Structure 1
Amino acid sequence: MFDFALMAEKVMQFRTQIAEAVGETFLMVGISVAAAVLLGLPLGTMLFLTAKGQLYENRTWSALLNGFVNVVRSFPFLLLVVFMIPLTRLLVGTAIGTLAASVPLGVVSIAIYARQVEQSLVEVPRGVVGAALSMGASKLEVVMKFLYVEARSGLVLGLTTSTISFISYSTVMGVVGGGGVGDFAIRYGYQRFETELMAAVIVLMIVLVQLIQFAGSRISRWLDKR
């Protein structure tokens, strides 16, 4: 059984380090979410639009985009982090640290959310596109004013699920000195045999994930007008 009094004592003892670790996690996940929205959303949209029977059907581009997403998503994450060290060093000037850790995490986030976006758009009834075109909407307007509007609930829910995945990935970024809550739990909890401290950090992560899931689900239901 855990000694909850000792757990609280350990949390207070290491509160500065915990706060720093939480900040590092927020930075990595925040950059990942930004990359997912800014690049994953358009990538997922192009995955949908270039597929067979869609507005911009193109077998070559569809194969290339799907190949990129499939390779990144299937690549073992730790190996991807190591594989991307030269690119990371080129982009941020170093391969160590929280910012450097955000580079491979950002690439994975783009691929993960792109697939979520594609799936959300696939679920939009095909009649929506036909109706939009019959009203004289341009292809850009079809995407912005019809597809995204119809799929907004799924897009939010997909981003929520993706964000939780980003948090999970961020816990292993200590391998490149990325820090974060996961790295803190390993260095201060596991390696020092501070079981109560490690348990407290795990509880913190669970609470964080539950809050994100709750907020995302509520927003998704609010946006779902069907």
Structure 2
Amino acid sequence: MTTDVILSLLWRSFWETVWMTGASGLLSLIIGLPLGLALVVTSRGGIAEQLTINGILAALVNGFRAVPFVILLIALIPLTRLIVGTSLGTTAAIVPLTIAAIPYYARIAEVSLREVDRGLIDAVRAMGGNRWTIIREVLVPEAMPGIVAGFTVTLVTLIGASAMAGTIGGGGLGDLAIRYGYQRFETSVMIAVVVVLIILVCGMQWLGDRLATRLDRR
């Protein structure tokens, strides 16, 4: 296989991985962060304590997190077909990636939100602040560095999961490594994919760490 062909395949697969990771990451942020907030505010001693709702949400999150991604990938094939019309391809892989990432990120966001100083919450309450004021002015801003750092970890995890999605035709760098590097014994392709994945992960982690540091109020 010529260098030009390898570079062309790498370029296409790289953007497929970016699309899968970016789309599923954005959806996990949009859904996972409110879910993490709900877990915190409805917990015992929370600003909107509802232990029954908290128990249900926690059970759902733990249930999905307990299922290995490979099994979830296969189990969600009917749902993927229902949503996007096919179970193959880059867009189809976004469905199981998103469903796997939402509970994962929700727990990370929950941990960051629980670390917010209780004294700040009590101070806003004493000044007459309602629940939404506490969430908007205290919980989210104070936990933002952890939220960003957790989102970065989620994106890095999604890159690995997207490579795993290549085992069932999900496209991206994982698919390229399996079809050409493994099945066709193209060692150069396998090495190139590994190098690109390392660069992608390191670059994403560096950007996330820098942003989290800038948002840290301490």
Alpha-carbon distance between aligned partners in 1 of 2:50 and 2:4, rounded to the nearest angstrom: 58
Residue number among 13, 16, 36 corresponding to 2:8 in the alignment: 16
Unaligned stretches of 5+ in structure 2? none
Stretch moving more, 91-100 or 106-115? 91-100
Instruction: State the match for 1:142 in structure 2.
Output: 134
1:10 Cα shift?
Answer: 5.2
Instruction: State the match for 2:200 in structure 1.
Output: 208
The answer on whether the counterparts of 2:166 and 2:173 sit within 8 Å (CA) in structure 1 is no
Unaligned stretches of 5+ in structure 1? 1-8
| TM value normalised by structure 1 | 0.93
Instruction: State the match for 2:17 in structure 1.
Output: 25
Aligned residues: 218
Instruction: State the match for 1:109 in structure 2.
Output: 101
Instruction: State the match for 1:35 in structure 2.
Output: 27
Residue type of the alignment partner of 1:70: N
1:121 Cα shift?
Answer: 0.5
Instruction: State the match for 2:172 in structure 1.
Output: 180
Instruction: State the match for 1:129 in structure 2.
Output: 121
Alpha-carbon distance between aligned partners in 2 of 1:165 and 1:128, rounded to the nearest angstrom: 33
Query: Matched residues, percent identical?
Result: 42
* Superposed CA RMSD: 1.3
1:94 counterpart = 2:82: no
Instruction: State the match for 2:73 in structure 1.
Output: 81
Alpha-carbon distance between aligned partners in 1 of 2:27 and 2:139, rounded to the nearest angstrom: 21
Secondary structure of 1:66 counterpart: helix
Stretch moving more, 175-184 or 155-164? 175-184
Alpha-carbon distance between aligned partners in 1 of 2:47 and 2:162, rounded to the nearest angstrom: 37
Cα distance per residue 1:46-104 (max 9 Å; x no partner): 01111110011111111111111111111011111111111111111222211111101
Cα distance per residue 1:152-186 (max 9 Å; x no partner): 10000000011100101000112332101011011
Alpha-carbon distance between aligned partners in 2 of 1:217 and 1:10, rounded to the nearest angstrom: 37
Secondary structure of 1:162 counterpart: helix
1:42-61 paired onto structure 2 within 5 Å: 42-61=34-53
Secondary structure of 1:14 counterpart: helix
The answer on whether the counterparts of 2:16 and 2:171 sit within 8 Å (CA) in structure 1 is yes
1:23 Cα shift?
Answer: 1.3
Secondary structure of 1:148 counterpart: helix
Q: Which runs of 4+ in 1 moved over 4 A?
A: none
| TM value normalised by structure 2 | 0.96
Alpha-carbon distance between aligned partners in 2 of 1:203 and 1:128, rounded to the nearest angstrom: 45
Alpha-carbon distance between aligned partners in 2 of 1:10 and 1:40, rounded to the nearest angstrom: 43
1:11 Cα shift?
Answer: 4.6
